[in-house]
């Protein structure tokens, strides 16, 4: 079992974790996160959380795999691993992750978008729909995309390089007239030591064979579903590199490099 730190944020105040469904251990309206983005930036690429355990905490999510071997996308309870060939595989339940974010997705609001917008335009449109900058949100976008760029990074070997260096070797995939699902989260700015502040979205096409971390967009016709999540449950690794990391380094520039499309 893992030792957990429970952060329950209702508006901007800490409170008890949200209500549970009767007869269930599943907490409503909760983000479940394993490890931190800061530990990933520092090169802690081997976690002790197996996928089989991770999926007990949600049917929707994103993350990566041990040794940084591809992008994780969890859609409708199925875990996909998008490797550097651009293809999505289904890893076994014993496969482990060093970082993942999960929830049991239930949309609180839905709306449609249709326009010749880029990725920044899309994120601005999403911002107009959220009710507070200080809560957590799960985002699902199902539809058609005129153009889309995604990426994955290659599996690493020890001694591990920092994540900001690894993305120099990323594989970028271009999709034209593709249909599928963007899946991800929006975290508040004040959680930047824990997760990516702002939006973090991964993609799977409709046949669930290709995808990756979303970098750029050109044109969209889709339904957007947003799940408001006032609670965060953070689980930290009990073994491995995490315990020996220096987490006081400023990796802001590295995070910006990791999240954005580089020319």
DSSP 53-86: HHGGG-SEEEEE-GGG-SEEEEETTEEEEE-TTS
Percent of the chain with pLDDT over 90: 84
pLDDT category of residue 14 using cuts at 50, 70 and 90: very low
Mean per-residue pLDDT, 222-238:
97
pLDDT at position 200 over 50: yes
- Read off the pLDDT of each residue in 24-34 and give the average, rounded to a whole number: 79
Average pLDDT for 236-249: 94
State how far the Cα of 77 lies from the Cα of 87, in Å rounded to an integer: 19
Q: Is 138 exposed, middle or buried (0-12, 13-18, 19+ CB in 10 A)?
A: buried
Residue 9 pLDDT level (bands cut at 50, 70, 90): very low
Closest by Cα among 196, 178, 175 to 186: 196
CATH entry 1.10.10.10 includes domain 1-14+25-263: no
Give pLDDT tens digits for 39-50: 999 999 999 999
Residue 192 DSSP class? T
Is residue 16 pLDDT above 80, yes or no? Answer: no
What pLDDT is attached to residue 256?
85
Please state, rounded to an integer, the average pLDDT across all residues of the chain: 91
Per the structure block, which two tokens stand in for 83?
Answer: 């490797």
34/3: higher pLDDT: 34
Using a cut of 0.85, tell me whether the model's pTM lies above it: yes
CA gap 68, 98 in Å, rounded: 8
pLDDT at 244 over 80: yes
pLDDT value at residue 259: 83
How large is the average pLDDT for residues 182-208? 97
Higher pLDDT, 158 or 10: 158
Q: Say whether pLDDT at 26 is over 60.
A: no
Phi and psi angles of residue 90, each rounded to the nearest 5 degrees, phi first: -110, 105
Q: Is the dihedral of CA 117, 123, 126, 128 positive or negative?
A: negative
148 pLDDT more than 60: yes
pLDDT at 262: 52
- Chain centroid to CA 6: 19
Cα four-point dihedral sign 139, 140, 144, 149: positive
Output 10 or 194, whichever has higher pLDDT: 194
- Where does the pLDDT of residue 28 fall: very low under 50, low under 70, confident under 90, or very high at 90 and above? confident
Residue 178 has pLDDT above 60, yes or no: yes
Judged against a pLDDT cut of 60, whether residue 21 lies above it is answered with no
Distances in whole angstroms, Cα of residue 70 to Cα of each of 5, 166, 207, 210: 27, 12, 18, 12
| Domain ranges within the chain, ordered by starting residue | 1-14+25-263
CA distance 61 to 53: 13
The H-or-E segment that residue 40 falls in is helix 37-41
Whether 234 has a pLDDT exceeding 60, the answer reads yes
pLDDT at res. 257:
81
Q: What is the pLDDT of residue 36?
A: 98
């Amino acid at each position: 079992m893992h030792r957990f730190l429970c952060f329950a944020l209702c508006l901007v105040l800490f409170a008890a974790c949200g209500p549970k469904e009767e007869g269930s251990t599943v907490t409503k309206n909760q983000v479940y996160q394993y490890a931190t983005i800061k530990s990933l930036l520092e090169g802690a690429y081997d976690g002790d959380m197996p996928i089989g355990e991770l999926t007990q905490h949600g049917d929707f999510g994103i993350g990566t795999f041990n040794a940084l071997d591809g992008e994780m996308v969890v859609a409708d309870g199925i875990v996909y691993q998008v490797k550097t060939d651009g293809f999505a595989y289904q890893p076994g339940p014993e496969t482990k992750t060093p970082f993942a974010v999960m929830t049991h997705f239930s949309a609180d609001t839905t709306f449609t978008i249709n326009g010749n917008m880029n990725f920044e335009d899309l994120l601005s449109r999403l911002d107009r729909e959220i009710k507070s900058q200080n809560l957590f949100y799960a985002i699902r976008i199902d539809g058609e995309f005129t153009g889309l760029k995604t990426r994955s990074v290659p599996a690493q070997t020890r001694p591990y390089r920092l994540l900001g260096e690894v993305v120099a070797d990323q594989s970028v995939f271009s999709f034209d007239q593709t249909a599928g699902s963007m899946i991800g989260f929006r975290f508040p700015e004040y959680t930047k030591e824990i997760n990516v502040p702002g939006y973090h979205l991964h993609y799977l096409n409709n046949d669930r064979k290709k995808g990756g971390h979303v970098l750029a967009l050109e044109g969209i016709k889709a339904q957007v579903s947003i799940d408001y999540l006032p609670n965060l449950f953070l689980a930290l690794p009990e073994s491995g590199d995490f315990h020996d990391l220096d987490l006081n380094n400023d990796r802001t520039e590295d995070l910006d490099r990791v999240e954005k499309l580089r020319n």
